[in-house]
Every structure is written in structure tokens, then in C-alpha cells.
Amino acid sequence: MTLTCPDGANFVVVHLDYSTAGKLKDFFYRAGPITITLQYSDGSSASGTIAVPNMASGFVLTYYPQDLASTAACLSADGSQTFPTITAFSFSGSGTACLRDTITVDWYQ
């Protein structure tokens, strides 16, 4: 499932909840990893593993450096550079089977 960011959105809160079976699995062992894939406005993408409870804190729809060179470029930016923004994101991995069927997403400007 891919979630497309609306125009003007700067921050998103994703309410991911485990199903009853997912809660039991997570309590007794582990629900499995969930990967988020971020799609950027320049066509590039980045992936990482998420912690389900932390998604309720939300995240900024901005550029997240993926290596030392891009981190250095962000830290030394003088304001004249523009970095890509997140245009869409999706969740995948074995842990998604333990989630409820409904995901609530709150967008903020």
C-alpha cells in the first residue's frame, strides 16, 4: 500500500495498530519487521525499518540523508541548495500481516 502525500503537507502521523492476533504474536515472540520506503520528489527512494509504537509520534516529510556524503551536504548547506521532499511512502515486510486492516493517517502543514 502506497500513501501519497497531499500538497502542502509537512508532517505526518501514522496510527499503526496491531490486530488481536498481532498483539498476541508480539507479546509471545515478535510480530516481525516492518519496512518503510520513502519516495522523494526527485525520483529517488530510501528504505528503513520502523518501530510501530514510534509511528504515532509522526515524522517530517523532508529529506533524510542515507550516507556520509549526503549528510555532509545537508550539514554544510548554505540555504541556496534545495533537497527533495517525500512525495509518497509505503509499508512492507512480514510484520504488516500483524497490523489491523485500517490505518489512520493525519497530515499536517
Q: Based on the structure, what is the number of domains in the chain? A: 1
- The pLDDT, as a whole number, for residue 79 is 76
Nearest by Cα to 81 from 31, 42, 51, 29? 42
pLDDT in tens, 44-90: 999 999 988 888 899 999 888 888 988 888 888 787 778 888 999 99
| Domain encompassing residue 55 | 2-108
pLDDT digits over 10-24, tens only? 999 999 888 998 889
- Residue 54 is predicted with a pLDDT of 86
First to last CA, the chain: 23
